[in-house]
Structure 1
Amino acid sequence: MANNKPTLYTSLSPALLHLYDLRNAVVVIIDVFRATSTIASALHNGAQCVIPVDEVAKAIALSKHVNGIAAGERDGKIADGLEHGNSPLEYSPEFIKGRTLVLTTTNGTKLLQMALDNEADTIITGSFPNLSAVCDYLVKENKNVVLGCAGWKDRYNLEDTLFAGAVISRIKEHFTIHCDSSLTAEMQYNTVKDDLHAFAPNLTHYHRLVDRFGLIEDIRFCMTPDIANVLPLYKEGMLLAQ
């Protein structure tokens, strides 16, 4: 009997994304610490949309054009020339509701641009705060999936891989998965899933954010499933809550 299930692959680094066929797939952009967690937070709290851009200058210029909020980071801190950063806690309903967030980050927004450049059919963003929304959408769409981990400057990182593993553990019965990176992601997630918060201090990016900038509350938010459970879908240059 033929297997008509769509396929699922995991790209563990932006440097590997070009190896996957994105043209007929849903690409999930994963940058747990912190871009895709911040996108989920902003949209969950009522942002009209999030416009991801890959350069600070673009964020500043575009925010002026659309009367939006220019925000983002480089190397974990608010980027020079911007007033707002990449913290999911910064975008409360009182601040962000009805407004446009123009966001640029070290890894996540750059990966999204790479997916566009590689002709991705559909792009969504995912992180633990919107885990269920991502899984529900992927099952409903019944299309090929590429889970794209943003990593850190093309290097592997574990938190993005753990999120990929969390998605795979929930939806694998709906997909054909012959992909060692996906197998690795699920195995790693299964070893720590019972207490993600306790595991977080082992992560390199945790120390980059907490030891240098004291962002422990950001980390807690980013590792909490379904705390901002919206589905950000990329359409015509914008991420919109579905």
Structure 2
Amino acid sequence: MNRKSTLHTILSPGLLDLYEVKDSIVVIIDVFRATSTIATALYNGATKIIPVAQVEDCIAIGKKLNAITAGERDGKIIEGLQHGNSPAEYSASFIKGKTLVLTTTNGTKLLHMALESGASEVVTGSFPNLSAVCDHLLAMNKNVILGCSAWKNRFNLEDTLFAGAVINRIKENFIMHCDSSLMAEDMYNMHKQDMYSFIRKTTHWHRLASYGLESDLEYCVTPDVANVLPQYKDGALIVE
């Protein structure tokens, strides 16, 4: 019988150094909207997605690879880039067979921190690919870190809700002595029947809804609408 692996939830990148990341699978969670958009673009046939933190890098890599460049700050497309962070922009008719260079702040930062801390694998997760993430974590039998990208190192509700959704499905297969994980699952169980109304209370909802992105945010908490597993390999997120 295999030994049970451990599962921990990190509520903010600012807490990462308090956990043993080495040899763990780290799930990068950035529900509104980076990891939802990543899953959607790959589900719709993108060849790969290159996540970068800096706008200058996004532009330079985009030119070098003749790739699509995308990124937003404060809900608006960044000057010099072609597209935004909306999952709705990346239909199969647009993205299939193309490379996307995506600049994000919170999620990209956590991804690189996880790699520098010795993670054995980095994948990205959001409600649109909930089942793919859970199936992979169950199959791998490795220690798991659910990493919430948060917002400027501050706790946010939507990333924690997704961590809770994962825990709700897979907890029986893991040792979980982790209060943040218990809290995440409790929060998810309390609100899973009314997610669309609950997310309207979040700070990100108020921030992004003012730009007319309500349908984006509802999509981002809809399970399995882009059910693939983005894995970070050789500098890009791909689906194998």
Shared fold, TM over 0.5: yes
CA distances 1:86-133 after superposition (whole Å, capped 9, x unpaired): 111111111100000011112112211221222221000000000000
Contact 1:54 1:113 in 2 (8 A): no
Contact 1:73 1:106 in 2 (8 A): no
* Map of 2:134 onto structure 1: 135
* Map of 2:114 onto structure 1: 115
Q: Which amino acid aligns with 1:234?
A: Y
TM-score (norm 1): 0.96
Q: Which one of 190, 212, 218 corresponds to residue 216 of structure 2?
A: 218
Gapped runs of 5+ residues in structure 1?
none
Matched, 1:182 2:181: yes
CA distances 1:176-225 after superposition (whole Å, capped 9, x unpaired): 000000001001000001121121111110110002x1101111110100
Corresponding pairs, count: 240
Of the structure 1 ranges 52-61 and 160-169, higher mean CA displacement relative to structure 2 is found in: 52-61
SS in 2 for 1:155: coil
Matched, 1:81 2:86: no
Distance 1:117 1:80 in 2: 30
* Map of 1:235 onto structure 2: 233
Distance 1:99 1:196 in 2: 33
Distance 2:171 2:21 in 1: 19
- % of aligned pairs identical? 64
Contact 1:103 1:109 in 2 (8 A): no
Q: CA deviation at 1:80?
A: 2.6
CA distances 1:112-166 after superposition (whole Å, capped 9, x unpaired): 1221222221000000000000000000000000000001110000000000000
Alignment of 1:27-106 (within 5 A): 27-106=26-105
Distance 2:45 2:55 in 1: 24
Gap change, CA 1:201 and 1:238, over 3 Å in 2? same
SS in 2 for 1:196: helix
Distance 2:100 2:80 in 1: 15
Contact 1:108 1:150 in 2 (8 A): yes
Gapped runs of 5+ residues in structure 2?
none
Distance 1:70 1:23 in 2: 32
Q: CA deviation at 1:3?
A: 8.5
* Map of 2:204 onto structure 1: 205
SS in 1 for 2:62: helix
Distance 1:118 1:58 in 2: 23
